[in-house]
Amino acid sequence: MAQVVRDIRATAQHHSKRFESAIPLIASENLLSPYAKELLISDLHSRYAEGLPGERYYEGNEDVDHIENVCLDLARRLFRCSFADVRPISGTVANLAVLKGLAEPFELVGTSRLADGAHISSASFGAFGLRSVKPVYYAWDEERMTIDVPRTKEILRAVRPKLCLFGLSLFLFPMPIDELRPTLEEIGARGWYDGAHVLGLIGGGQFQDPLREGCQVLSSSTHKTLPGPQHGILLGEGLEPDGAKRLASGAFPGVTSNHHLHTMAALAVSLAEHLEFGREYARQTVANAKALAQALNERGFDVLAEPLGFTQSHTIAVRVTNEGGGEAVARALADAGIISNKNLLPGDASPKHPQGIRLGSPEVTRVGMKEREMGRIADLFDGLLHKGRSSDEIRTEAAQLKAGFTTLQYCFGAGEAAYRYYDLVGRDPS
Ligand SMILES: *Cc1c(COP(=O)(O)O)cnc(C)c1O
């Protein structure tokens, strides 16, 4: 059995080294600061704390209560809202909590199509299906890569859903919530924002502010542009007391029992860091995404939404039909040390053969890369996909570029190694 332990450790170490020498461009991934990370192996990991601070079911939770209260206070400060709940253990679980608390089975819920960038939460085979709610799809403007407001107003007036979800996993531009707000009010619908991808940009004041624009609820992951632990969060503003109560009970006992106290403690640290460093981090993250889009466009890549400046977020979408399609391109890039993902694009004929790749700047920004490095990354894409250079060559150059950027920035303890495998015990398990 000791062999298993050695194998798993060695593989985790190998995994860390691989990412250390790669260019990580997954839009939904980020790196945790050292002070947040160390809490993941604290004793908090071993404990249960069902309920809310001061109303627990188990003894021994006084310190957990303090940590949760601090975490809630930081969340309400960072996102300037009156309601927060940090018990959902992931973004999907946060979405389930909203559906459990604020929707009934067979109800109609507004959302976007998967091909237009929505998350699987909105799918019949995802959270929507689990709660048996029926999606009402917004009309989509492919050129502007956002909701088509006039046509969506007509749909909403005709169908009158009581809950409308705004938020995407291919999230290039802010959602036109402000413009749809009068229609939401007219039909008596609640606005719900899924900020999983853009939470760090919202917290850093560099994207839209959904709780001020017409949404009462914001559900999210806490580990994408917000560089926190893998966890979830619910935020709310302007909820009536009964709505807040139903939302909280959607989280617990609805879709969680224990809420992973070690990650909640890490979240408190990450929220405090975002209050301090989030504005500059979010600004550079968006600047880097724009720079990467521009640089790829100049090298002949079909980056979506050119007339609109490609993106206002951390994400860009590239149509790679000419380079061999999303699947082949993402695989070739990974072989050359550039980590991305294939992605459906609007108008894709087959969901099995996406014509796009999605690229994101959160992690490369986190290790200190700026606009200049985005140009160097675009050169690697060009060399591999247009100039026929070998993946071995590109992988070597990617590692050389990355070697200058292996420490964390925008956090307490900035400058510490980002990808180090923490060999905390150092014992041989024999
Ligand atoms: C990633 C994502 C989620 C799910 O978050 P997890 O923390 O992975 O469960 C939900 N909604 C959107 C829009 C996402 O992109």
Confidence at residue 337, expressed as pLDDT on a 0 to 100 scale:
98
The β-bridge relationship of strands 108-111 and 134-137 is parallel
Distance 91 CA to ligand 1 centre (A): 5
Beta carbons of 36 and 270 less than 8 angstroms apart: yes
**pLDDT digits over 177-213, tens only?**
999 999 999 999 999 999 999 999 999 999 999 999 9
- Can you read off the two tokens belonging to residue 399? 């590692």
Give phi and psi for 359, each to the nearest 5: -125, 145
Confidence at residue 346, expressed as pLDDT on a 0 to 100 scale:
86
Q: Could you tell me where in the chain the CATH 3.40.640.10 domains are found?
A: 35-270
* Cα–Cα distance, 132 to 112 (Å, whole number): 17
Give phi and psi for 74, each to the nearest 5: -65, -40
Whose alpha carbon is nearest atom 2 of ligand 1?
196
Give me the architecture of the 35-270 domain, per CATH: 3-Layer(aba) Sandwich (3.40)
Give phi and psi for 140, each to the nearest 5: -120, 140
For residue 168, the ligand 1 atom closest to its alpha carbon is 13
* Cα–Cα distance, 176 to 213 (Å, whole number): 9
Looking at residue 117, the DSSP 8-state letter turns out to be T
Distance 233 CA to ligand 1 centre (A): 11
**pLDDT digits over 156-187, tens only?**
999 999 999 999 999 999 999 999 999 999 99
Confidence at residue 352, expressed as pLDDT on a 0 to 100 scale:
86
At what angle are helices 149-159 and 177-187 packed, to 10 degrees? 20
Q: What is the CA angle 211-89-215, rounded to 5?
A: 15
List the pLDDT tens digit at each of the 430 positions of the chain: 789 998 998 899 899 999 999 999 999 999 999 999 999 999 999 999 999 999 999 999 999 999 999 999 999 999 999 999 999 999 999 999 999 999 999 999 999 999 999 999 999 999 999 999 999 999 999 999 999 999 999 999 999 999 999 999 999 999 999 999 999 999 999 999 999 999 999 999 999 999 999 999 999 999 999 999 999 999 999 999 999 999 999 999 999 999 999 999 999 999 999 999 999 999 999 999 999 999 999 999 999 999 999 999 999 999 999 999 999 999 999 999 999 999 999 888 888 899 999 999 999 999 999 999 999 999 999 999 999 999 999 999 999 999 999 999 999 999 999 987 765 556 676 6
Confidence at residue 170, expressed as pLDDT on a 0 to 100 scale:
97
Confidence at residue 422, expressed as pLDDT on a 0 to 100 scale:
63
Q: Could you tell me where in the chain the CATH 3.90.1150.10 domains are found?
A: 277-419
- Can you read off the two tokens belonging to residue 29? 């991934």
Distance 221 CA to ligand 1 centre (A): 6
277-419: CATH, from 3.30.479.30, 3.40.50.150, 3.40.50.2300, 3.90.1150.10: 3.90.1150.10
Choosing from 202, 221, 230, 260 the residue with most ligand 1 atoms within 8 A of its CB, the one to mutate for a pocket test is 221
Confidence at residue 349, expressed as pLDDT on a 0 to 100 scale:
84
Distance 169 CA to ligand 1 centre (A): 7
For residue 205, count other CB atoms closer than 10 A to its CB: 11
Distance 87 CA to ligand 1 centre (A): 15
Q: Across the strands, what pairs with 83? A: 236
Question: Which residue in this structure is represented by tokens 């160390």?
Answer: 38
Choosing from 87, 98, 168, 197 the residue with most ligand 1 atoms within 8 A of its CB, the one to mutate for a pocket test is 197
**Which residues line ligand 1 at a C-beta cut-off of 6 Å?**
28, 90-92, 95, 119, 121, 167-169, 194, 196-197, 221, 232
